[in-house]
Structure 1
Amino acid sequence: MNETAAASASAVGETDSEADGDRTPTGPEPVVVGEGVRKSYGDVVALDGVDIAVEPGEVFGLIGPNGAGKTTLVRALTGTTAAEGDLRVFGVPPRDVDPQRIGLLPQSFGPPERLTATELVDYYGGLYDEARDTESVLRDVGMADDADAWYETLSGGQQRRTCVATAIVNDPDLLFLDEPTTGIDPAGRRSIHRLIERLADGGTTVFLTSHAMDEVERLADRVALLRDGGVVAVGPPDELIAEHGGEPRLEVSLDESAPDAVVEAVAAAVSSARLVESSADGLRIRGVRPEAIGDAVDALDAAGVDFESLAWSVPSLEDVYLRLTGEEYSPRDGGREETDGVEGPPNKGAEAADGGDR
């Protein structure tokens, strides 16, 4: 995060924390503002009172399941669809913004296929009063070696890189990227990630929509999570993970679900575990510290259980996503997983580690 974005995000976070709203916001005006944004298609409610603000120079991530309203929100903010509520970009309604200041890469983008990558970037650059040098833009997205190939002959990843180039050729102040790395190989994804980081460091505000949680976790200064047309969580990735991501866990792969006797034996042996439970293909130990993995192995050996593998993991933004929008979310209990297992002995770190269940 650059210094401007860090200061702005901090100011907004402090303001948001005041429930009575008496505190006056400080710092520069947000680049993107949406207050009470609503949009319906017939009887289908796509956006239901969305509040959102994106600070100058910030990489702002928008995540959520299919049908959550992400595309509709981007369209509303870019002025390509009408919506109710107060929407402002650079302080004016989206349709009044100077198009020279905006870059947009939609999820589905089909440029003329019988043009080369160079010709495509030249064409889109020609739509602006001022544009970057085509060669340097193609180099930025890793397409310098294939600049003269027809678009239709490029691989899916190369096509997507070329599309990214058309979105940044005008050197925008605000860049909307919807699934920018779809179909791009790992090396290409890393190149695009570095490009986004450089753009943000140079002052470009980036509005990133992606289903790749690792991508959003790496790039975004703050993240908003949409579900059913509303924002259910917003904040820096690390704070969302601490609050909703749950706790470290150890997955033990067995030929079948672990018997109750094994669950109880492991729970008794692993003092740092909050919960030990049988899973579909083995055993899951929640809240286990890495130094206690050996205790779990010893307990399995003592019970005569042969396991295929062990996998220890810490929570990530993907865990936040699943807990709040996916299979692990249960509306009956506000996000708490319903599970049967054996609680481990109380330990001092259990409550802090289990932020997602509080």
Structure 2
Amino acid sequence: MEAEAVVEARGLEKSYGETVALSGASLAVEAGEVFALIGPNGAGKTTLVRALTGTTEPDSGQARIMGESPTAVDRGRLGVLPQDFTPPDRLTAHELLAYYAGLYDDARDPDDVLADVGLADTGETWYEDLSGGQQRRVCVGATLVNDPDVLFLDEPTTGIDPAGRRTVWRLIEDLAASGTTVILTTHDMAEAQRLADRVGLLASGSVIARGTPDALVSDHGGSSRLTIETTADPAAFDDLEHPVSRPERHRGRSAESAVVVRDIDPEAIATVVDYLERRSLEYTGLTWAEPDLEDVYLALADRAELERTAAVDDVADQSDAVEAGETA
């Protein structure tokens, strides 16, 4: 029997004037699951979180948390971290958490929460004097003082240094292990791949793909690849038994400074090195990689953008045709 969803969205629609933020967005998240929402800026992630938490009223569709409307559910059972959360800065970190703890009848000790987010030694520091990453961790802590059953985190690790980010990751993992349901949005694919039991890719206001990270990578990530740091043209590899091309969107370098050999196992790398040396093709480095969640993101987001652009062009063409007919 399929488990009952703790958080559910069915066909949510939301527009702001002519801007469509949500277009039939649907998802279901089970108890104790970590569900990551990924997608480009403007895809509707924050609007979806707001609709699920009752801070935005959708134009149509239905959202439910623990079987109730988001506006009817006991707020003491929820923790919500907005992307733009800005608490009062003339309080210490401890005073801030104590303030939010005072909003609940059975709250956690602020010192324990500070320890959870890795800030046990900064409780007496003014919030405004904390670094940006420390401030964000205090904000994460503010969502935990009521020990929520369901936790919504909108870009929780934005601005946090790598060590602090891992502290937050471990905290989220511990919360999920104890039964807390976590819905988070992120642009960090490594974060989503590590934390999420399942991932949903949002594009143009709809969830266009969902599944475990491994399943999404298997279905949409493409093949393994060997990146060769070289200015040689792909045509120089015409008789190599593996397909070679310029990277479509290369990470951290110019596309003209590398070629990518696809569908290649690590055991075959030596044959590529021999090929380079026999043909005196200069190169400065080799990197082999399996597809990951970032490849899925790029593939599906690019596809969605192309479809959206094609739809806009079709509407423009039809409008031009109508205007031309009226003019004639």
Q: Tell me the equivalent position of 1:72.
A: 47
Q: Tell me the equivalent position of 2:23.
A: 48
C-alpha deviation, 1:87, in angstroms = 1.2
> Please, which of 169, 185, 202 is the counterpart of residue 193 of structure 1?
169
C-alpha deviation, 1:259, in angstroms = 5.3
Q: Tell me the equivalent position of 2:73.
A: 97
* Structure 2 Cα separation of the partners of residues 308 and 208 of structure 1: 39
> Please, which of 265, 269, 292 is the counterpart of residue 289 of structure 1?
265
Aligned residues of 1:59 and 1:219 also touching (Cα < 8 A): yes
Query: Normalised by the size of structure 1, how large is the TM-score?
Result: 0.81
Q: Tell me the equivalent position of 2:133.
A: 157
> Please, which of 226, 237, 245 is the counterpart of residue 263 of structure 1?
237
Query: Closer, same or farther in 2 for the Cα pair 1:27/1:327, shift >3 Å?
Result: closer
Aligned residues of 2:203 and 2:304 also touching (Cα < 8 A): no
Q: Does 1:38 align with 2:39?
A: no
Query: Closer, same or farther in 2 for the Cα pair 1:47/1:132, shift >3 Å?
Result: same
Letter in 1 for 2:189: M
Secondary structure of 2:259's match?
strand
Q: Tell me the equivalent position of 1:183.
A: 159
C-alpha deviation, 1:161, in angstroms = 0.7
C-alpha deviation, 1:327, in angstroms = 8.3
Letter in 2 for 1:77: L
C-alpha deviation, 1:105, in angstroms = 0.7
> Please, which of 90, 98, 107 is the counterpart of residue 83 of structure 2?
107
Letter in 1 for 2:266: P
Aligned residues of 2:76 and 2:104 also touching (Cα < 8 A): yes
Tell me the alpha carbon deviations over residues 52-96 of structure 1, each in whole angstroms, 9 at most, x when there is no partner.
101011001101000000011000000001101121111111100
> Please, which of 96, 111, 133 is the counterpart of residue 120 of structure 1?
96
Aligned residues of 2:227 and 2:287 also touching (Cα < 8 A): yes
Q: Tell me the equivalent position of 1:240.
A: 216
Aligned residues of 1:78 and 1:94 also touching (Cα < 8 A): yes
* Structure 1 Cα separation of the partners of residues 303 and 97 of structure 2: 42
Highest RCO, 1 vs 2 (Cα 8 Å, sep ≥ 6):
2
* Structure 1 Cα separation of the partners of residues 246 and 180 of structure 2: 48
Q: Tell me the equivalent position of 2:120.
A: 144
Q: Tell me the equivalent position of 1:343.
A: none
Query: Closer, same or farther in 2 for the Cα pair 1:202/1:278, shift >3 Å?
Result: closer
Aligned residues of 1:251 and 1:312 also touching (Cα < 8 A): yes
* Structure 1 Cα separation of the partners of residues 246 and 210 of structure 2: 33
Query: Closer, same or farther in 2 for the Cα pair 1:314/1:259, shift >3 Å?
Result: closer
* Structure 2 Cα separation of the partners of residues 61 and 140 of structure 1: 21
Unaligned 5+ runs, structure 2: 248-255, 311-328
Q: Tell me the equivalent position of 2:245.
A: 277
Deviates more, 1:178-187 or 1:316-325: 178-187
CA RMSD of aligned residues (A): 1.7
Q: Tell me the equivalent position of 2:296.
A: 320
Tell me the alpha carbon deviations over residues 41-60 of structure 1, each in whole angstroms, 9 at most, x when there is no partner.
11111111111101011001
Tell me the alpha carbon deviations over residues 199-237 of structure 1, each in whole angstroms, 9 at most, x when there is no partner.
001110000111001001000001110000111100001
Secondary structure of 2:238's match?
helix
C-alpha deviation, 1:329, in angstroms = 6.8
Aligned residues of 1:263 and 1:277 also touching (Cα < 8 A): no
Q: Tell me the equivalent position of 2:202.
A: 226
C-alpha deviation, 1:330, in angstroms = 4.6
Aligned residues of 1:45 and 1:229 also touching (Cα < 8 A): yes
C-alpha deviation, 1:282, in angstroms = 2.9
Aligned residues of 1:51 and 1:231 also touching (Cα < 8 A): yes
Report how many residues are paired: 300
Letter in 1 for 2:39: G
Aligned residues of 2:234 and 2:259 also touching (Cα < 8 A): no
Tell me the alpha carbon deviations over residues 91-118 of structure 1, each in whole angstroms, 9 at most, x when there is no partner.
1111001000000111111111110000
Aligned residues of 2:89 and 2:128 also touching (Cα < 8 A): yes
Query: Closer, same or farther in 2 for the Cα pair 1:32/1:185, shift >3 Å?
Result: same
Query: Closer, same or farther in 2 for the Cα pair 1:327/1:86, shift >3 Å?
Result: closer
Secondary structure of 2:143's match?
helix
Secondary structure of 1:288's match?
coil
* Structure 2 Cα separation of the partners of residues 250 and 50 of structure 1: 37
Query: Closer, same or farther in 2 for the Cα pair 1:278/1:98, shift >3 Å?
Result: closer
Tell me the alpha carbon deviations over residues 137-189 of structure 1, each in whole angstroms, 9 at most, x when there is no partner.
00000010111000000001110110010011100000001111111111111
Letter in 2 for 1:193: W
